[in-house]
Structure 1
Amino acid sequence: MTPLRILFLALAVWGSLHPLALIFLWFAENGISLTGLIAAWRSGWASAALFWDLVISAIALTAWILAECLPRRDRIGLLAIPATFCIGVSCGLPLYLFLRSRRV
């Protein structure tokens, strides 16, 4: 495995573990409420701007993944889409770059 692929994989792991740990801490303090979590993300102007920035980035990343994976019939790359929406762009993007950089 090349150093670049190792970097992409490390960023995908970090991009999943770090945000999920913080979300689980929030759940521990506030109870498990998805609507409450989304409301907290949109509670102020700065957090709302970051929320929408990530939503738009996730949509753009999904369009890119679909545009590349569907014509090549690369179904493995599609795993980055649920990673993007269930965990975040910080996991989905490096995961897709890791999967995309493999030998086909």
Structure 2
Amino acid sequence: MSHTHASPALERFLESVVRQLPREAVEAMADLRPPFDEHVDDAVADEVIHLFQAKAKAAIHESLAGPLPDEPDFNEETKQVLRDAREGKGLVRYDNWDELFADLGM
């Protein structure tokens, strides 16, 4: 299998799809075993399915998913910061770029 690098847009799209699917469908996708389709020889499609499966596993249980193919292993402190950011904890929001740059002294 080739190792294509998924674009951030594709990753966001797949995350959106996973969030909208019923839990049973996400669990089924996470448990899928290769070969996904013996009659299709398409490395890119296999990579997309692999990434989708990783997103499905992450949606079910963060610790079961493991890192994505191009994602480093994070220590527990970093994982907590990422969880907090997803929940909106400790984030600073600005109405526009000017406020951001002013706050940074730029």
Asked if these proteins are the same fold (TM beyond 0.5), I'd say: no
Between Structure 1 and Structure 2, whose CA radius of gyration is higher?
2
Q: Give the structure, 1 or 2, with the largest relative contact order (CA under 8 Å, sep 6 or more).
A: 1
